[in-house]
A and B are shown apart, each in its own frame.
Chain A
Amino acid sequence: MSEVAAAGAQVEEPARPVRIVLAKVGLDGHDRGVKVVARALRDAGFEIIYTGLRQTPQMVVEAALQEDAQVIGLSLHSGAHMTLFPAVVEELRRRRAEDIVVFGGGIVPEDDIVELKKQGVAEIFTPGAPLQSIIDWLRNRFPAR
């Protein structure tokens, strides 16, 4: 990874697939959504690391750093998003890894989305969002070199 960066990401270098850590933060175990998203993103060519359930913000950030991920996707259905999503952003800041993009999914009311974006969460996908909208958003954010 660092070699590629040092070489200045030459044009002929094959583009590395975007690597995404998907995590269930908080106490709820509803993993239907995150698993469907994981499969869809994998099929769309992203590299997916799924952490499993009940991850703390520290664990998620640690996983993202270990895996050299560019993106963290958070899933949560318990209503604790206003505490835990910003805590992940904060932990990234603390670990000087603010370049990692954080997005989330779950039952998040509109007002909360506005506030979460202010606090540094890049995007929130709510119930009924097509998988393609998540894929498109990521491709737009990380255009193939």
Chain B
Amino acid sequence: MKVRYAKETFAEWQRQFEAAPKRSDGVSATTVSGAEIEPLYTSASPADGPEELPGEFPYTRGIHAAGYRGRLWTMRQFAGFATAAETNRRYNYLLENGQTGLSVAFDMPTLMGQDSDAPTSRGEIGHCGVAIDSLDDMETLFRGIPLAQVSTSMTINSPAAVLLCMYLAVAEKQGASMKQLNGTLQNDILKEFIAQKEFIFPPEPSMRLVVDSIEYCAKEVPRWNTVSISGYHIREAGSTAAQELAFTLADGFAYVDACLERGLKIDDFAPRLAYFFDAHIDFFEEIAKFRAARRIWARHLRDRYGAQDERSLKLRFHTQTAGVSLTAQQPELNVARTAIEALSAVLGGTQSLHTNAMDEVLGLPTDKSARIALRTQQMLAFESGVANTVDPLGGSYFVEALTDRMEAEAEAYFERIDAYGGVIPAIEAGFMQKEIADAAFRHQQELETRQRLIVGVNEFTAGNEEDEIEILRIPPRLEQEQVERVREVRRRRDQARAAKAVTELRKAAASPSENLMPYILDAVRAYCTEGEIMGAMVDVFGLYTEKAVI
């Protein structure tokens, strides 16, 4: 189902293009041979055929009339390891090398809402990301980085509200206004139940916290992206591209429903919902997925939810290249894989991008591998010429057909999820989990039977024995230092203030009509630890355990 456009529509696009701000980097928009490139190409006789234009509903060809002529994607490398001080050093290194946004990776204890001195944190501290226990660590993490001027993405889910409050408290100490802050909180609990499994509370109170943060930010932190509705983890868990698209958008609609139920107005919060997709190795399928996502979101928001604000209809997304496509065999080859995947994200019109480092399949990226990953994006942006024209693949028979098919497959999944009574009942029935596990198993069998080849894994393996690559190690002493740091924070704070904040939070949690954000913020300011704050809510909400299905 496409829209036709008449000559007036094209004139409108032209008007929008002229009005849009343009990049000021001075890089020529001609080919390497010197040929002029138009900002937009359409079919030869547009009035005869159905056709869409970028910047116009349903945004299949992109949400901006000017595409990357207006503004390049944000190069946002996800990083975090060891302690706040170590990670702060890496952030400064990346910013010095031309990175344009920050993205925080937290370690497992932080992601699971527990402090570094909890018994089950042993061996996990600082391995998958940076260890943050309290406001004290957060201050160190952003030392010397003006939060009013950078945009920061934080990958955190169950304890998202707590980490957001820590960020707000650091900004407050820097003298920045909350109204100035730019950034994104992942805060997508539904995909945790579906795929990544970093859940703490049961689904209902988890959703309450998400809606609390959306409601709070709509008023207090208006430029903050409150949820980054994520397909990445669904895909990495083994789903197909269509499943990633369908389950992610279904989650998005579930957040919209929950906010409407709270009494929020669609155009007050929908513009601040963002998406996060995987860029896997199947080049054209990925491009089609990104294009279909925009179209589906726009249609549902306008026709089903009655959104009027254009910003509510425009699906903005971050992309990360597929970690799961990287191979431990001949890891240098991963640079090429990542480049192919990143190109699909760019041709799909991503707003920001993380390119994986070649060694992420073996451990944490080194300074060098992180730099090569960033340089890969810079090559796409400035050398390859792909950013010169908007949606260069629009009108390709193949890409358009794949885009339509993606949309149809997603709509079919929406019906199946609706038959369960929505996303949460479908999660509780294990529907999405089973679909993903089936797809993962099928894929593995295809590798075993060599119906699918992966270079260096089940074919072209000569050279595998040369696998010698430097990997980043986390010294064990950092773990002990972090444990001592959190104990020190607990010792030296105002005990009465901290205890009172936790008690107030617990009381508010028991009262479903309270928005918990101000209580969490108070506890953070009082240097309550993440474990204490989450613990107070666990007292009221309980813990969730899933029934494991193979």
Contacts and interface: CB of A to CB of B under 8 A. Distances in A.
Are A and B a genuine interacting pair, yes or no? Answer: yes
B448 A131 contact: yes
B458 A127 contact: no
Contacts of A35: 437, 440-441, 550
A131 B444 contact: yes
B348 interface: no
B505 interface: no
A56 B448 contact: no
A79 B120 CA distance: 14
Interface in A10-32: 26-32
Contacts of A54: 120
B65 to A, nearest CB: 40
B437 A78 contact: no
Interface stretch (A44-52, A67-75, A116-124): A44-52
Interface stretch (A1-9, A80-88, A89-97, A137-145): A80-88
Given A27-B124, A29-B197, A48-B550, A79 B363 contact: yes
Nearest to B437: A35
A32 B436 CA distance: 9
A36 B108 contact: no
A84 B329 CA distance: 25
Interface in B347-372: 361-363
Interface residues of A, number: 35
Contact of B548 (A27, A36, A39, A52): A52
A126 B471 CA distance: 15
Contact of A128 (B128, B237, B328, B545): B328
B236 A79 contact: no
Given A50-B550, A130-B458, A26 B123 contact: yes
B111 interface: yes
Contacts of A81: 123
B329 A128 contact: yes
B123 A83 contact: yes
Interface in B425-454: 436-437, 440-441, 444, 447-448, 454
A79 B448 contact: no
B548 A53 contact: yes
A80 B14 CA distance: 55
A132 B444 CA distance: 11
Nearest to B192: A29
A48 B548 CA distance: 13
B120 A27 contact: yes
Nearest to A81: B123
A-side interface mostly: loop
B230 to A, nearest CB: 14
Contacts of B471: 109
Interface residues of B, number: 44
A27 B108 contact: yes
Contacts of B362: 107, 109
B378 to A, nearest CB: 28
Given A39-B441, A128-B327, A32 B550 contact: no
Chain A CB within 10 Å, residue with most, of B127, B436, B454? B127
A107 B198 CA distance: 19
A28 B329 contact: no
A36 B458 contact: no
Chain B CB within 10 Å, residue with most, of A38, A48, A53, A79? A79
B20 interface: no
Nearest to B118: A27
Nearest to A127: B328
Chain B CB within 10 Å, residue with most, of A36, A50, A82? A36
A44 to B, nearest CB: 12
A81 B123 CA distance: 8
A61 to B, nearest CB: 16
Contact of A27 (B109, B363, B547, B550): B109
Interface in B91-144: 108-109, 111-112, 120-124, 127-128
A140 to B, nearest CB: 18
Given A27-B111, A79-B474, A80-B127, 17 more contacts: A27-B109, A29-B196, A29-B199, A30-B196, A30-B197, A31-B237, A32-B440, A36-B238, A38-B550, A39-B441, A40-B441, A80-B124, A83-B123, A107-B361, A128-B327, A128-B328, A130-B458
25 contacts: A26-B108, A26-B124, A27-B120, A27-B121, A29-B198, A29-B199, A30-B236, A32-B236, A32-B324, A32-B437, A32-B440, A40-B444, A48-B550, A78-B124, A78-B127, A80-B122, A82-B123, A83-B124, A107-B328, A107-B362, A109-B363, A127-B327, A128-B328, A128-B329, A130-B448
